[in-house]
Structure 1
Amino acid sequence: MILSCFMFHFQATLGFFALPTEPSNIVESLITNLIILLGAILLTSGEDGRSRAEQLLHILRQLDPYVSASAEHQRRRGCVAVHEVLVKFRNLCSGGFGASGSYPTLSLKHIDQGGPRGSSSLPSAFVLPNRDSLSLGERIMAYLPRCADTDDEVRKVAIQIIALFFNISLSLPKQKTSANDIDLESSYGALSSLEDIVSIIRRASVDQIEVFHRVVSSVCILLSKDEVNIIS
């Protein structure tokens, strides 16, 4: 009963992503606080990385209708929310948060892609999720179409989301059955290519078709066979 009540209010709260753009100062502040709330929910739910990975996927799936909405401002809000929640999750897995957590200044017009990559510095008591828990095949397909979006900001954030997903996944343990299916050298090369694209689109106007093709090429290398099969 309590869980059902929480889910009802949670979904109702996410409905604020559908608000009109005016009055801009009030609405943007509300959306920003809502995104911070999503980060707080992620940080305070579950006891280890695995349970928080489950919560991450739950939050992201609840955001899917806004990521793919017909209204551009809803897609922008949805993509920014996904990116910010992923940043919190990456920092969590890399030991970037203290016990109570801390939040960087967040703006819908500024997205920080920086951050650590590599092995975790968390205490041994913290259990990292494995790569499979991210449902990469499903999640990448939710954001890949947005890399060819009609809205410039949506395209940029979507590419950052995909790069961030693989940045996280390459630092997590892999199932023994799929470990041999991932060529780390090729994967890091493809991730580097994705991060180069992110850097380029921030500072220059580039051919959208070429960028999308480069993103797809990198994704094809970064996904394992099992993850591709899930998409199929």
Structure 2
Amino acid sequence: MCVLISLSNILNGSQLLAFKSKVNRAEDRKHLSNMILIITFVLNFSMCIKCLFFAFQTNGFFIESGAFDGEYLSNSLFFERFRNWTGLLVEPNPFQFKRLMNKNRKAYAINACLSEKNYSSVETFNVGNKDYLGGSVVQKETHKPLPKHIRVKCHPLILILQAIDRFEIDYFSLDIEGAEHGVLSLLPWERIKVKIFSIEHNKWPGGKLNLLKFMEKRGYKLLTEIKHVGVAPDYIFKKTSDNLL
């Protein structure tokens, strides 16, 4: 089962084999899978703080842009598995997207990136050591040797939402390695209604204070900052006003 793979993030290989060998009955395996998912979510998601904002809400709708393989460090899997949510998973890396599609997620999924332009295009990205996609090569020129590149289709979010006919979003997780500002600047805020955002802020132009101002102008209040060792920090915003700019 794909959930058991997450256990390797917590236990080493020998512990994993020993633990799995003790799980024989189907019912026990089901309970184990649920336990593993909860533990993984809590460890990866800073004591499940985001979960508290939707403590008992069921049947919600999420967008997770930067969905990776659909499981590792997922910001949406808990809500799908335990709160009967569905949503949209956006992952540009074709290698990770293939893994995502094998996880049997109950959500729409698209192998593309969210565009910083108001039209669809094909962009070239860097691929890191763990198959994370970095910023566009033309945007992120450095003097260091470039890693392998990959060509990716990019679409404005509104076009994707029109295709699935969903414009009311309970939770939007945006972790796209520096393209957050461009994607959010392009959003038609009067059409897309989002209750809660989590936005990676360490690559926001001008720093996180500029992100605060950007979201306040669009009627959002900062709730908290999520920090975790080895993971880029997120700001959590909640919609408090319909005032736009």
Q: Which has the higher contact order (CA 8 A, sep 6+)?
A: 1
Report the structure, 1 or 2, having the larger helix content. 1
Report the structure, 1 or 2, having the larger strand content. 2
Structure label with greater radius of gyration: 2
**TM-score, normalised by the number of residues in structure 2:** 0.29
